[in-house]
Amino acid sequence: MVLLKLNIIKQRPLWWSISGILAAIGAIAMAISLTTLGAPVAPSLDFVGGTRLQLELDCSIAGNCESPIELDTVREIMSDRGLDNRGIQVVGAAGRGLSIRTLDLDVDDRTQLLSDLEERIGQFDPQSTQIDTVGPTIGRELLASGLMALIFASAGIIIYLSVRFQLDYAICAIIALFHDVFITVGMFSIFGLTLGWEVDSLFIVALLTIIGFSVNDTVVIYDRIREILKLSTLDEANDSKPIGINEVVDTAVNQTLMRSINTTATTLLPLVGIFIFGGETLKYFALALIIGFILGAYSSIFIASSALAWWRERQESPVSATADSPIPDDRIIEAQLDRDE
């Protein structure tokens, strides 16, 4: 039941242009963001330091929740205290929630600000309050350790794939992986510029997960390419005509296509669930994963495979024996099965 047959190699210019355009849009967004915000994506206080207060009026007190919070009142209080009054939002359906993002406040400043706010607006419910304060140095450390994790994870994956497959497989997988990460970052750069969404330390987690998943998808296809190549060299020994790398890649992609689609779909289902129902913190995390996983599936099918074919085509033609790692040999399986049955 092959629903569709993709012709990856023939349509290579198309897939590469789509990715190229997406990457270029991302690069432009990052450049604009870099000049306006000083960073390729809008950084949250996790990375630059600061204080965020999320407050909610305590509605169990009579008369406390009569009217929604007035943004102007809050702005006024902030200005009176000499604080930047841009990062203020009234949240929640009835306008009873307040979110304030400002520079890193110490305990005295924060307490003073809170009592000023309570005096003008009403009692807040401490049980629904969220306070985040991150010092500027901690922020930099978080960012540095996050980037280190990204680099080490990529290096580890290259080494593992070089051992299990070959170096050129690893390089093409890494190209696909950077493609996914780069475009995801580009998308969030656009979100930062247009919607004001900021990325926090969970975004780095998301990028690392995307790396893991993208390689996952790519490995499954490479596994199949390796297997077909091995079988074709066996056939060659039996005087069959050799098949070109392009044909091998096309076959491998199409044979694993349903798996790629189904796996991506089943993984996306819970993520979409989190995106729609999950709390504020996990919403953007889930969205980053959704974008990254779709890109991961796309790049495995269209980029990683066609890049490998392109590389091999330039190296040698026609293909000779390539896979040197142990792979499941059909005849060994048959022998084992016979004993088992």
Partner 1 sequence: MRRQQSLLVLIIVLLVGAVTVLTLVPLRLGLDLQGGAQLTIQVESTDEIEDLTPEEVISGVLSVVRNRVDALGVSEPLVQTLSDDKILVQLPGVSDPEQAERVLGGTAQLEFREQQAGTDEQLQAELLARRELQLEFEVLKAGGDDAALAQKQESLETSNEAIAALFAPPLLTGKNLKFADARNSAAGSDNWSVSLEFDGEGGEKFAELTKNLAGTGRSLGIFLDGKLISSPVVSVEFAETGITGGQAVINGRFTIDEANDLAVQLRGGSLPVPVKIVENRTVGATLGQDSIRRSVLAAAGGLILVLGFMVAYYRLPGAIADISLIIYALFTLAAYAILQVTLTLPGIAGFILSIGMAVDANVLIFERTREELRAGKTLYRSVESGFYRAFSSILDSNVTTLIACLALFWLGAGLVKGFALTLAIGVGVSMFTAIACSRTLLFLALQVSQLKKPELFCPDLPGSSQS
Q: Interface residues for partner 1 in 4-63 (CB under 8 A)?
A: 54
- Comparing CA positions, the residue from 122, 119, 127, 54 lying closest to residue 89 is 54
Residue closer to partner 1 by CB (options 83, 211) is: 211
Q: Which of 7, 123, 262, 315 binds partner 1 (CB under 8 A)?
A: 262
- From the CB of residue 209, how many other CB atoms can be counted at a distance below 10 Å? 17
Query: Would you count residue 215 as binding partner 1 (CB under 8 A)?
Result: yes
The whole-angstrom separation of Cα 19 and Cα 177 is 12
Residue closer to partner 1 by CB (options 11, 129) is: 129
Q: Which of residues 173-212 bind partner 1 (CB under 8 A)?
A: 201-202, 204-205, 208-209, 211-212
Could you give the 3-state DSSP secondary structure of residue 54?
A: strand
The total number of residues shown for the chain amounts to: 341
Scanning 23-31, 34-42, 78-86, 325-333 for contacts with partner 1 by CB under 8 A, the matching segment is: 325-333
Per-residue interface string for the shown chain with partner 1, residues 239-258, x marking contact by CB under 8 A: ----------------xx-x
- Comparing CA positions, the residue from 48, 107, 98 lying closest to residue 78 is 98
Query: Would you count residue 290 as binding partner 1 (CB under 8 A)?
Result: no
The whole-angstrom separation of Cα 307 and Cα 337 is 37
Please check whether residue 56 is in contact with residue 216, taking contact to mean a CB–CB distance below 8 angstroms.
Answer: no
Q: How far is the CB of 128 from partner 1 (least distance, A)?
A: 5
Tokens 């969220």 correspond to 130
Q: How far is the CB of 101 from partner 1 (least distance, A)?
A: 14
The whole-angstrom separation of Cα 137 and Cα 55 is 26
Please check whether residue 176 is in contact with residue 214, taking contact to mean a CB–CB distance below 8 angstroms.
Answer: yes
Q: How far is the CB of 275 from partner 1 (least distance, A)?
A: 8
Give the CA distances from residue 164 to residues 25, 211, 255, 276, 325, in Å, rounded to whole numbers and listed in that order: 35, 18, 21, 39, 6
Q: Which of 164, 166, 168, 294 binds partner 1 (CB under 8 A)?
A: 164
What is the total count of residues that contact partner 1 (CB under 8 A)? 79
Instruction: Identify the helix (H) or strand (E) that includes residue 90.
Output: strand 88-91
Q: Which of residues 60-119 bind partner 1 (CB under 8 A)?
A: 107, 110-111
Q: How far is the CB of 166 from partner 1 (least distance, A)?
A: 13
Residue closer to partner 1 by CB (options 133, 233) is: 133
Give the CA distances from residue 262 to residues 17, 177, 222, 269, in Å, rounded to whole numbers and listed in that order: 26, 20, 18, 11
Q: Which of 5, 10, 120, 259 binds partner 1 (CB under 8 A)?
A: 259
- Comparing CA positions, the residue from 203, 220, 222 lying closest to residue 291 is 203
Q: Which of 40, 50, 146, 192 binds partner 1 (CB under 8 A)?
A: 146
Query: Would you count residue 135 as binding partner 1 (CB under 8 A)?
Result: yes
Q: Which of residues 264-283 bind partner 1 (CB under 8 A)?
A: 265-267, 269-274, 276-279, 281-282
Residue closer to partner 1 by CB (options 76, 118) is: 118
Q: How far is the CB of 179 from partner 1 (least distance, A)?
A: 16
- For the chain, the C-alpha Rg in angstroms (whole number) is 27
